[in-house]
């Protein structure tokens, strides 16, 4: 397991979509940082959030909990959280718990952005 960096988030805006690029590892120590970033976006009235996992090495249930914390309210307001570019180790944790039933998990940002543009929401649980 290579967990080089602790945790950081790089934020980019792509039109109506806010892209959060995660680096490092997401566990009970670092999950509150992601939670407050997403919370701030929502308080600023943003509701389309793309989270890119390319540089995330590790996730535990504390990290998964952040996405469950916001998805219901975001969907109610017509928004969504879409997840992209997970490495197989990180994807396996989402997959073990069936999260792909609830969340769009895309290989690339492009397809997730296209789904935002089309208003596609995965909710067919």
- Using CB under 8 A as the binding rule, the residues of this chain from 73 to 92 that contact other proteins are 88-89, 92
- DSSP for 96-123 reads HTTGGGTS-EESSHHHHHHHHHHT----
Q: Is 27 helix (H, G, I), strand (E, B) or coil?
A: coil
Q: Binding mask 97-116 vs other proteins (x if CB under 8 A, - otherwise)? A: xxx-xx--------------
Q: How far is the CB of 108 from other proteins (least distance, A)?
A: 22
Question: Residue 3 CB, nearest distance to other proteins (Å)?
Answer: 6
Q: Which of 39, 42, 54, 64: binder of other proteins (CB under 8 A)?
A: 64
Question: Position of tokens 């067919």?
Answer: 124
Please report where in the chains the tokens 């879409």 appear, as a residue: 82
9, 39, 60, 120: residue in contact with other proteins (rule CB under 8 A):
60
Q: Residue 46, Cβ neighbours under 10 Å: how many?
A: 16
């Amino acid at each position: 397991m290579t967990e080089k960096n602790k945790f950081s988030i790089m934020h980019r805006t792509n039109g109506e979509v806010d892209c959060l690029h995660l680096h490092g590892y997401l566990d009970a120590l670092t999950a509150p940082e992601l939670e407050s970033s997403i919370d701030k976006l929502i308080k600023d009235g943003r509701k389309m959030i793309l989270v890119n996992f390319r540089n995330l090495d590790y996730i535990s249930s504390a990290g998964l909990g952040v996405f469950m914390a916001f998805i219901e309210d975001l969907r109610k307001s017509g928004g969504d959280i879409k997840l992209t570019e997970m490495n197989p180790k990180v994807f396996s944790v989402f997959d073990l718990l069936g999260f792909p039933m609830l969340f769009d998990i895309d290989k690339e940002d492009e397809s997730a952005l296209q789904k935002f543009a089309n208003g596609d929401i995965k909710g067919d649980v």
